[in-house]
Amino acid sequence: MALTINNTNTLTLLNILNQNSAAQSQTMRQLTTGKRINTGADDPAGLIALSSLKAEITAVDASINNNQRTDSILTVADGAVAEITSLLSEIERLVVASTSSANLTDSEVSSNQAQIDGALTAIDRIVNTTNFNGKRLLDGSQAIATTGVTTSFLDNVRVYSRGQGTTATTLTVNRVASAQVASASFAYLGGGTAATSGTTSVAITGSLGTATITIASGSNQAAVVTAINAAKAQTGVSAIQSATNVQLSSTTFGKDAFISVNLISGGVINSSYSTSVGDSNTVNDVGSTTKTSGVDVNVTINGQTAGTDGLDVVYNGNGISASFTLSKAFGEGSQATTSTSFSISATGGATFQLGTESRTRQTIGIDSLATYNLGGGNGSSKVSELGSGGAVDLRSDPSGALTSVREALKEIASVRGRLGGFQKFQVGSAIRSLQAAQTGLGAAASVIEDTDFAVATARLNQQQVLIQSTVALLGVAGQQSAQILSLL
């Protein structure tokens, strides 16, 4: 190679040194920041993909926080509903203890009534004070509104969830078949002349329990009816007079209502004379009867068969979950009209977004659980009527009180179950699914963005060796210039 002033080897080595120094700077920056992509020039395509992933990660993080907050709200509501359930159970205990008036003095009944009044006040206090971040949860402010409800047909209307449409949804309720109470004939005691001959003892069983009833010899139809109705609070079975016999009926409608009569002793009815002397006509005597049950109402809503329990109706369809109670007249068919309609508003309720998109929103309704709005299912009274002076307080109607509080317990259990179901199956599953997505998206972003320290460290060592060798070779190239001077 010729010796010239322009040392091309030096220029070449300088270019290589600059390239290795730039690569070393980039590697050191990656090791310092822990990120493979620090500028757009590092990986333009990777930066675009990384930006999209980071946007998704941000949305997932926000959704997880939303759902965790929702879970906290529902936990607060569940705790309050659990305490209301406990108070209703205590009320039920007091009512049951008071149904047998022969065992209690008037002062004891008054004491039980005072405790019930206190429990009712406590329920209303819990309802009015349960809140989360200033928002009341159980006072009805989170309820989904309804319009057009005809109270002579429907009562106790509750909407548990609705769709996300912008217009109201109309539900048309059509009665296909009427509800029935359980019924049975007790004995022939008609015409005003029949009477029991000898003491009669029977066990009458209904949906509330069993009571043993003793009927004195010579009792006429009115006396038998009075004796049976005196135990109505214990049995759930009432008696009425008819032209020919004593007719037994359950106090509630539906297949869960039943009547069973077991003759223990006696049972002879004298149908010939108004005396206690027996006759030979045993057809008219009191006898044991097999269990007879009532019939649930058969209802369709917008053409779909609804679930029923006595007069209570439950509907789930098209994003709507609702329940209501048919009036006695409408449910048993004494009203000629067979259908009625009402609308569910497209607003109201508590709306939660479960995912990262608006289409994952769900709205639940929490109706007021105050005593004036609690209970009333299957034609029973509201729980507030159990208070002193109410229609079903312990002095007025202990049987009605027991039916009312048990219906309220069923309703509160349904409310708590629905809240728990939403918390577990909607919110809980959303959190777990979002956390899985968070992990997957984070891993994908890490592959694109994060520095592989093992690879980068090996590269840095390589670059250091190359730089050192290049510097050494620059010294060799400089010696070539010195050789020119030696020639001069």
Residue 400 and residue 423 in one domain: yes
Give the number of domains in the chain.
Answer: 3
Per the model's pLDDT, the better-predicted residue between 262 and 21 turns out to be 262
- Give percent of the chain above pLDDT 90: 55
Is 274 a member of any domain? yes
Residue 112 and residue 246 in one domain: no
Is the model's pLDDT at 154 over the cut of 90? yes
Model pLDDT, residue 163: 87
Model pLDDT, residue 6: 62
Mean pLDDT across 197-213: 91
Confidence band of 277 (pLDDT split at 50, 70, 90): low
Is the model's pLDDT at 282 over the cut of 80? no
Quote the tokens at residue 170: 């109309």
Model pLDDT, residue 469: 87
pLDDT per residue over 168-178, tens digit each?
999 999 999 99
Is 10 a member of any domain? no
Model pLDDT, residue 448: 87
Residue 165 and residue 122 in one domain: no
pLDDT per residue over 390-440, tens digit each?
999 988 888 889 889 999 999 999 999 999 999 999 999 999 999 999 999
Is 122 a member of any domain? yes
Confidence band of 188 (pLDDT split at 50, 70, 90): confident
Model pLDDT, residue 279: 58
Residue 311 and residue 413 in one domain: no
Show the domain range for 307: 144-177+299-348
Is 17 a member of any domain? no
Per the model's pLDDT, the better-predicted residue between 10 and 266 turns out to be 266
pLDDT per residue over 130-150, tens digit each?
999 999 999 999 999 999 999
pTM (2 d.p.) = 0.79
Is 324 a member of any domain? yes
Is the model's pLDDT at 280 over the cut of 70? no
pLDDT per residue over 315-329, tens digit each?
998 889 999 999 999
Report the CATH number that the domain containing residue 288 is assigned in CATH. Answer: 2.60.40
Model pLDDT, residue 281: 67
Model pLDDT, residue 471: 85
Model pLDDT, residue 101: 66
Model pLDDT, residue 380: 84
Model pLDDT, residue 39: 82
Residue 43 and residue 135 in one domain: yes
Confidence band of 28 (pLDDT split at 50, 70, 90): confident
Domain boundary among 319, 348, 377: 348
Is 149 a member of any domain? yes
pLDDT per residue over 341-372, tens digit each?
999 999 899 999 999 988 899 999 999 999 99
Dist CA 159 CA 364 (whole Å): 8
Q: Which stretch, 17-21, 62-66, 376-380, has highest mean pLDDT?
A: 62-66
Residue 155 and residue 86 in one domain: no
Of 93-102, 206-215, 416-425, the range with the lowest mean pLDDT is: 93-102
Per the model's pLDDT, the better-predicted residue between 2 and 214 turns out to be 214
Is the model's pLDDT at 264 over the cut of 70? yes
Is the model's pLDDT at 272 over the cut of 60? no
Residue 397 and residue 416 in one domain: yes
Residue 107 and residue 191 in one domain: no
Model pLDDT, residue 441: 92
Report the CATH number that the domain containing residue 386 is assigned in CATH. Answer: 1.20.1330.10
Is 29 a member of any domain? no
Residue 151 and residue 209 in one domain: no
Residue 257 and residue 312 in one domain: no
Is 314 a member of any domain? yes
Residue 124 and residue 148 in one domain: no
Of 45-49, 350-354, 398-402, 475-479, the range with the lowest mean pLDDT is: 475-479
Is the model's pLDDT at 7 over the cut of 80? no
Residue 266 and residue 303 in one domain: no
